[in-house]
Amino acid sequence: MSRIKDASLAPSGRKKIEWVRSFMPALTEIEHRFEETKPFAGLNIAISVHLEAKTANLGLVLAKGGAKVSLTGCNPLSTQDDVAAAVAEMGVDTYGIYGVSPQEYEELLAETLSCHPHLIVDDGGDFIQLLGGRCKEYGDRLIGGCEETTTGIHRLVAREREGILPCPMVAVNDAKAKHYYDNRYGTGQSVWTAIMDTTNLIVAGKNVVIAGYGWCGKGAAMRAKGMGANVIVTEVDPFKALEANMDGFRIMTMDEAARIGDIFVTLTGCKDVIVDRHFAVMKDQAVLCNAGHFDCEVAVASLRKMAVHSQERRKNIVGYELADGRTLNVLGEGRLVNLACGMGHPAEIMDMSFAVQALSLAWLAEHRHELETRVYRVPDTIDDEIGRYKLRAMGLTIDRLTPEQEAYLSGWNVDGE
C-alpha cells in the first residue's frame, strides 16, 4: 500500500532514480552482497528520509536484502512526487506528498510506521518522537534503528540520558564516511546550488553570513569563499570561532552581521538564530535561508507578523516588505534550502552516507540479540570498508602500512629494542 500524489508521475521519477544509481557505486556493491546474503529476510524496515531519488535507491537496496520496506519523507517540502510515484511502483510502500500541512505530514509518518518495523532509518528524529508517543504500539517489534543527522543524535542522546530511548540506535551521522563528506562537501555544494538556482543572483562580492561553523557551516563557508564572497561567520563556541578565524573568515555577532549581510545561511542546529531585532536592521533585499535540519533557525513566523505585505517573488522565494519599505527575501519558507529549493546532496556523497546506513542496519540485524537500548557508534570496520569501497570505485589507490610501520605505530618501544 502507498499514499502518493499521482502515480502517473512515475516515469520521470524512475529516470531520476536511474541517474543517481549510476553514481552510487558503494551502495551498488552493497546491494549485490545483500542480494546473496539477505540480511533483512523477514524484517520490516521503515525509512523517514528526504524522499528524493538517492533515498529511493537506499530503499530499493534494502528491499534487495530481503526487507519489506516502507518509505516516507522527513520534511514536507523535500518530497519529490515523481520519485515517490516511481519507488512505490517499484515495490516500496511509499507515503509521501510534497507540500502537505504539518498534521498531514505526521499522518504520513504514522502510516509508514504502521508496518510495525523491526528496523528504522530516521533523519532528524521524527520517527523516534512518534514511537515514543502516539505510535508506541507500532514499536512492538523494534530491533533498532539508525539516525542520519547531528540534530537527531542530540535528541537521541538526551533520550538515552532520561531513559526514554525506544530502541538501540546507531549514530550514522558521526561515522567518518558520513559527516566529513556529507556535512561538509555535500552541504557546501548543495546549499549554493539551491541558493543560486533559486535566486539567479551572484555570490561573488557579496557579504555572506554563515551562522554556525560545524561541519555543515565549514562546507558552506568554504564554497562561498571559493566563489568570491566576503564570508562572515557567527558562532557561540569559542574554538569553532577561532577555527573559522584562522580559516580566513571574519567573526562577528549576528547583531553586527545583520547590518551588513547580503545573503544569510543558518546551519547551527539551534533555534532563534535570526530574529526580529536582526530583521529590523537588515539591508533592503537581503536573502535569508536555512540549512539546519529544522525550520526554527530563522524566525519566519515573526517576520511574517512584522511585514506589512508579503508576496511570492519567484518560485520558493517570499519577499516580506517591512513598514520602512525594505524587503527581506526568505527562501523555501526557512526550511532546509538545499532540499526545499534543490535536489539535496550530490549522488556521490549520499552514496557514502547511505552505505553507512545500509551496513549499520545489517549490523543491527546481525547483533539483534546482544544489543542494549542505547546510542551506538558506527563500528570502525564499517567506516573503513566504505572508505575503501569508495576509493576503489573512484580508481584511487593509497599506500598500506608495512608490518614494521604497524608495530611502530601501535607499540611504545619506538627504537624496536
Q: Contact residues for ligand ADE (CB under 6 A)?
A: 49-50, 52, 54-55, 123, 148, 186, 338-339, 344-345, 350
Contacts 24+ apart (CB under 8 A), 239-248: 240/213, 240/214, 241/213, 243/213, 244/213, 244/217, 244/218, 247/218, 247/221, 247/222
Please report, for residues 167, 213, 245, the alpha-carbon distance to residue 238 in angstroms, rounded to integers and kept in the order given. 35, 11, 10
CB atoms within 10 A of CB 291: 31
Closer CB to ligand ADE, 112 or 207, in the complex: 112
Closer CB to ligand ADE, 81 or 262, in the complex: 81
CB of 121 to ligand ADE, least distance (A): 10
Beta strands in 5-118 (DSSP E): 44-48, 68-72, 93-96
Closer CB to ligand ADE, 2 or 79, in the complex: 79
Q: For residue 209, what are the β-bridge partners?
A: 232, 264
* Residue pointed to by grid coordinates 546510542: 375
Please report, for residues 97, 123, 246, 363, 396, the alpha-carbon distance to residue 79 in angstroms, rounded to integers and kept in the order given. 6, 13, 38, 28, 35
Q: Which of 145, 171, 127 lies closest to 45, judged by CA?
A: 145
Q: For residue 121, what are the β-bridge partners?
A: 47, 146
Amino acid at 383: D
Q: Which of 224, 294, 223 lies closest to 78, judged by CA?
A: 294
Closer CB to ligand ADE, 303 or 339, in the complex: 339
